Amino acid sequence: MPTDEPLDLPFRPRRLRRTPAIRALVRETRLGVDNLIQPLFVTEGDGEPEPIATMPGQFRWPVRHLVEECRILAGLGVPAVNLFGNCTRKDDQATEAVNPDGLVPRAIRALKAAVPGLCVQTDLALDPYASHGHDGLVIGGEVANDATVAVLREMARVHAEAGVDWVAPSDMMDGRVAAIRDTLDEAGHTGVGILAYSAKYASCFYGPFRGALDSAPRHGDKKTYQMDPANVREALREIELDIEEGADVVMVKPGLPCLDVIRAARDAFDIPIAAYQVSGEYGMILAAAEKGWMDADTAMLETLTALRRAGADMILTYFARRGAEHLRGTAP
Ligand code: PBG
């Protein structure tokens, strides 16, 4: 029965949702351009940027174009980019990963010269360089831990010499953070940071990324090094070890499937935490939007805010440029 008689309510939570101004005042979680890191794929040659079929709106950037894209990102206030090399000279030793004149070192040099204020981060793992597609060296049919760490040390040194700000080991080998820290310090690169992929799960959400770099494992899967999505205590143990080994920032990946892991890490540790909204999360939103089932920008902002609410300080996301344009009101 509709009635004009007001209920006798001491608390009316809807009062704080009445207007956009009031909602802004009581908003608990802020998402800012400052929180975003744009992953970018760099490729050989001097041609046009190549659209990535599995990741609409993302490109493989020749270095010249990468620099232009990074100028735009920096102009929008995006503080950092994270580079992946699209290696075309793959072999079973991932030789190209440690070439000082390789694609990624050249990209780092070009970016630090042209956009010096931008924080340049690079992925450290062998999969884009290895013909077998695994993150480490394969010895006797197994992904070998310690032999891989020796290569990662060298890769970190090469990137540091090119001027990288942070290296981001994404391979999940044991002991690599301490080894990389040791090598960097030994070479005088005490200011180069380590963004450790500490809790990285064996996830199907990386599928579109492997399409971008032609890096899907040719045999087996990554479950002997990436974590079982069923585990959270193990994630905290991994993070604890990486902090002890000298990680500056720890990462949880993927993002939205791991909100509880991010929250548990936030409650347990006080160092900065990164979340990675991975290729499959990006693709899910764009695919649903293409079907008319969701609005892409709204889903972008809602998911990025959820990652911040869970406790992430910074977010690697393919939406970084689009998010920055949206947040700054310069969206096309
Ligand atoms: C490889 C690496 C992967 C991603 C980041 N670094 C793929 C994998 O582990 O197979 C995934 C990123 C994404 O899906 O966006 N070391």
- Whether residue 3 lies inside any domain: the answer is no
The answer to whether residues 293 and 299 touch, using CB atoms and an 8 Å cutoff, is no
pLDDT tens-place string over residues 70-102 = 999 999 999 999 999 999 999 999 999 999 999
Low-confidence ranges of the chain (pLDDT < 70): 1
The predicted pLDDT at position 99 comes to 97
The alpha carbon of 26 and the centre of ligand 1 are apart by a number of angstroms equal to: 37
Q: What pLDDT is recorded for position 1? A: 66
Kindly state if the Cβ of 121 falls inside 6 Å of ligand 1: no
Q: Please report the pLDDT score of residue 211 as a whole number.
A: 87
Q: Is residue 9, in this structure, part of any structural domain at all?
A: no
State how far the Cα of 288 lies from the Cα of 232, in Å rounded to an integer: 29
Kindly give, in sequence order, each residue whose CB lies less than 8 Å from that of residue 4, ignoring residues fewer than 6 positions away.
none
Q: Tell me how far apart the alpha carbons of residues 50 and 211 are, in angstroms, rounded to a whole number.
A: 13
- Ligand 1 centre to CA of 47 (Å) is 25
Catalytic residues: 200, 253
CATH code of the domain containing 125: 3.20.20.70
For ligand 1, mutation pick of 170, 221, 227, 251 (most atoms within 8 Å of CB) = 170
Ligand 1 midpoint to CA 71 (Å): 25
Whole-number pLDDT of residue 84: 98
**Domain annotation covers residue 332:** no
- Asked if residue 4 belongs to a domain, the reply is no
Would you say the CB of residue 242 lies under 6 angstroms from ligand 1? Answer: no
Q: Which domain holds residue 266?
A: 30-327
The finding on whether 225 has its CB within 6 A of some atom of ligand 1 is no
pLDDT of 331 reads: 78
Name the closest-CA residue to atom 7, ligand 1.
206
Residue 204 confidence (pLDDT): 97
Q: Number of structural domains, the chain?
A: 1
Domain annotation covers residue 20: no
The answer as to whether 11 is a domain residue is no
CA 209–ligand 1 middle distance (angstroms): 6
Residue minimizing CA distance to atom 4 of ligand 1: 206
* Contacts of 90 by beta carbon, 8 Å cutoff, 6+ apart: 96, 128, 129, 130, 131
Buried b (16+ CB within 10 A) or exposed e, 110-147: bbbeebeebbbbbbbbbbbbbebbbbbbbeeeebbbee
Q: Counting atoms of ligand 1 from 1, which one is nearest the CA of 205? A: 14
Alpha-carbon gap, residue 43 to 88, rounded angstroms:
9
171 within a domain of the structure (yes/no): yes
User: Could you tell me which residues come within 8 angstroms of residue 84 by beta carbon, excluding any fewer than 6 positions away?
Assistant: 39, 40, 41, 42, 123, 128, 212, 213
Q: Whose CA is nearest to atom 14 of ligand 1?
A: 206
User: 278 in ligand 1 pocket by Cβ < 6 Å?
Assistant: yes
Q: Give SS3 for 269.
A: coil
Question: Could you tell me if residue 290 is inside a domain?
Answer: yes
User: What separation in Å is there between the alpha carbon of 137 and the centre of ligand 1?
Assistant: 17
Q: What is the pLDDT of residues 187-204, one digit of tens each?
A: 999 999 999 999 999 999
What is the model's pLDDT at position 291?
Answer: 98
